[in-house]
Amino acid sequence: MRKTEQLSCACGKFHIELEGAPFITTECHCNSCREAANRLADLPLGLPIAGTNGGTPFVLYRKDRVRFPDGTALLRAHRLSDKAPTRRVVTTCCHSPVFLEFQGGHWLSLYASLWPETSRPPTQIRTMTSDLQDPSVLDHAIPSGKWTTAGFYAKLLAVWIAMGFKAPQVEIEEARS
């Protein structure tokens, strides 16, 4: 039996249940994550999205290992534009960022700030650092660069194969902009 872990939003109304360990942890530096961090900060957020270097730390789980014991009624999906295939999901109770989901994706990128600092899985790699205008803002504590990003996509594919190419749906209401 894999052990399960429960996390909650900042106010404690919404919970998320995770089975086993994440398959990878990342810090994303893509333009969309940076724009979303800026825009969503207007809500204002109950928990931070971006870290001090501007990157967004994520903890990635297979969708079939994530459960919502309270349902998803307290979640709202935000998109950078009407047609954007990516949605960023935030709670309505306290505006805690919960996860990022690519349309049709088989995994959820959970925002690392959901974990208390003492139990947060450490970040393994940086992705999409090529979007940064000034990469000197980053230290060299963890791997980054195009090969790291390529290895990340290979890992996503390996996980999808392990899941038998399934991509479970998560029903979430869209936020009205």
Binding mask 4-23 for Zn ion (x = CB under 5 A): -----x-x-x----------
* Cα–Cα dist 37/56, whole Å: 8
Upstream peptide bond of 44 is cis (omega within 30 degrees of 0): yes
In the complex, what is the shortest distance from the CB of residue 109 to Zn ion, in angstroms, rounded to a whole number? Answer: 8
- The first and second tokens of residue 45, run together, are 């957020």
Residue 114 to residue 150: CA distance in whole angstroms: 27
Torsion of CA 17, 29, 146, 87, to 10 degrees: 50
* Residue with Cβ nearer Zn ion (34 or 63): 34
Stretch that binds Zn ion, among 24-32, 109-117, 131-139, 157-165 (CB under 5 A): 24-32
Residues in contact with Zn ion, counted by CB under 5 A, come to a total of: 9
Q: Which of 93, 138, 156, 170 binds Zn ion (CB under 5 A)?
A: 93
- Per rule CB under 5 A, is residue 91 in the interface with Zn ion? yes
Query: What are φ and ψ of residue 62, in 5° steps?
Result: -60, 140
Q: Report the residue number, 19 or 70, with the smaller CB distance to Zn ion.
A: 70
Q: How many CB atoms lie within 10 A of CB 2?
A: 9
Q: Binding of Zn ion at residue 28 (CB under 5 A)?
A: yes
Q: How far apart are CA 121 and CA 130, in angstroms?
A: 24
Considering beta carbons, is residue 91 or 129 the nearer one to Zn ion? 91
- Of these, 16, 24, 94, 112, which contacts Zn ion (CB under 5 A)? 94
Residue from 16, 18, 30, 40 binding Zn ion (CB under 5 A): 30
Beta carbon nearer to Zn ion, 91 or 113:
91
**Tell me, what DSSP letter sits at residue 111?**
E
First to last CA, the chain: 42
Q: By CB under 5 A, is residue 33 in contact with Zn ion? A: yes
Bridge partners for 19 per DSSP: 4
Binding site for Zn ion (CB under 5 A): 9, 11, 13, 28, 30, 33, 91, 93-94
